[in-house]
Amino acid sequence: MDERIRKRIVMFYLAGVINAALGVYVLLNGAAFLPPDKVTLLTFFFFAFAAVDFYFPQALKKKWRQDQEKAAQGRTEQPPKA
């Protein structure tokens, strides 16, 4: 796998973990300094971004595999000679 894609995937996972940790923190400790509706909104916000951050690496891997399959098929099929 290309090094740039691997780094991007790792960064998405890291961002997902950070967003999930922030969501848990707001869920557990947010009520002490925020109104309940803001706690709910912020918790949803952080968990939604964590979900997106965990979804994107899967999509990147899938796209990379499809591109590799297309490239492999293109190498095995020879263009017709004129």
Rounded CA-CA distance 58/60 in Å is: 5
Q: How many domains does the chain have?
A: 1
Encode pLDDT of 17-27 as tens digits.
999 999 999 99
The answer as to whether 16 is a domain residue is yes
pLDDT recorded at residue 74: 78
pLDDT recorded at residue 52: 95
Question: Would you mind telling me the total number of residues written for the chain in this entry?
Answer: 82
30 Cβ partners below 8 Å, 6+ apart? Answer: 38, 39, 42, 43
The answer as to whether 80 is a domain residue is no
The answer as to whether 82 is a domain residue is no
Q: Write down the pTM of the prediction.
A: 0.77
Rounded CA-CA distance 11/50 in Å is: 12
Q: Is the pLDDT of residue 73 over 90?
A: no
Across 67-73, average pLDDT: 88
Confidence of residue 10 (pLDDT cuts 50, 70, 90): very high
Q: Which domain holds residue 18?
A: 3-74
Rounded CA-CA distance 13/82 in Å is: 50
